[in-house]
Amino acid sequence: MKRKLFHLLLAAALLPLAGFAKPGFTMWQLFSQVNTIGNSYVFLTDKGRVVVMDGGMNDEALYLKGFIAALGNEVEAWILSHPHNDHVGALTEILKKPDGMKINKVYYSRFSDALVGLEQPYDQYAREFYDELDKSGIETVNLTEPGLTVRIDGLNFKILGVTNEELTMNPYNNSSMIVRVWDKDKSFVFLGDAGVECGDKVLNGPYRDDLNCDYLQMAHHGQRGCSEEFYKSIKFRACLWPTPSWVWNNDAGAGINTAHLKTFDTRRWMDEIGIKEHHVSWQGLTKIE
């Protein structure tokens, strides 16, 4: 009897080492490192593979590098919403100096040269990023249509929206790739910096039902992104805010809600919908498993 108990205890002690991770994946919303608008999410699958969404600003590259190194320093899939520097800046720095990090595949929806040229001075960051990506030799998947579904261990993702070359108002943000990520217990939708038109296109398209989720990333850092109607037309129960304190508080230095940002409108909509769970990147690291 004692011997049986000993073996039971031994098995329990070794269980974590044997790779019996929870099915599905763990997701982190990274802590905003420079109190600016970096958009950065990391996933770890039940079999230990890493997926990254965007990655944040150039000066958040070291933090991101450390985070990924601690998970094995190999990224199976890197998904990019759009080439603004608060989304691809950190990856641009990593591509310049990978320090041993292995990236197996990049999923993105590449802007045409004409679309890249529509925003100055951001075009220089986009061009630099595309140059570094091309030089890296990393395998890329360039999505020109939504609908692709990919499974990596217990993690699934689906592309709900891609580059919208016809939307020339707010052009970079309105060409944000919109992505659903899920396992059998939880689901996320990442809106990138989608503007009203970009969000409405998916809302009125064939993947509308895929927008319903547990955790919704607030578009464009929580202000001037998708419309009130968009948020009130889909179902979700918690918000991910890739949002620094000054955007969260609409405070350019003169006090709370004294600047020109629209974050308090979005926060009010969430209250009206009845959302109680908020994860805000300036308040710390969020881990969801």
By CB under 5 A, tell whether 210 contacts Fe ion: no
Q: Is 283 buried (19+), middle (13-18) or exposed (0-12) by CB count in 10 A?
A: middle
**Residue 214 near residue 186, CB atoms below 8 Å:** yes
Of 10-18, 82-90, 199-207, 244-252: span binding Fe ion (CB under 5 A)? 82-90
Of 20-28, 124-132, 188-196, 205-213: span binding Fe ion (CB under 5 A)? 188-196
By CB under 5 A, tell whether 193 contacts Fe ion: yes
CA dist., res. 46 & res. 43, Å (int): 10
Shortest distance in whole angstroms from residue 271 CB to Fe ion: 24
By CB under 5 A, tell whether 119 contacts Fe ion: no
By CB under 5 A, tell whether 128 contacts Fe ion: no
279 by DSSP, 3-state: which? strand
Residue list 29-48, contact with Fe ion (CB under 5 A): none
Shortest distance in whole angstroms from residue 81 CB to Fe ion: 8
Shortest distance in whole angstroms from residue 260 CB to Fe ion: 17
Of 8-16, 85-93, 113-121, 195-203: span binding Fe ion (CB under 5 A)? 85-93
Give the residue with the Cβ less far from Fe ion, 60 or 86. 86
Of 53-61, 62-70, 138-146, 190-198: span binding Fe ion (CB under 5 A)? 190-198
**Residue 230 near residue 200, CB atoms below 8 Å:** yes
Q: Which run of H or E residues covers position 135?
A: helix 122-136
149 by DSSP, 3-state: which? strand
By CB under 5 A, tell whether 86 contacts Fe ion: yes
List the one residue out of 43, 25, 59, 93 whose CA is nearest residue 244.
59
**Residue 91 near residue 42, CB atoms below 8 Å:** no
65 is written with which tokens? 């590098």
* Contact set with Fe ion (CB under 5 A): 86, 193
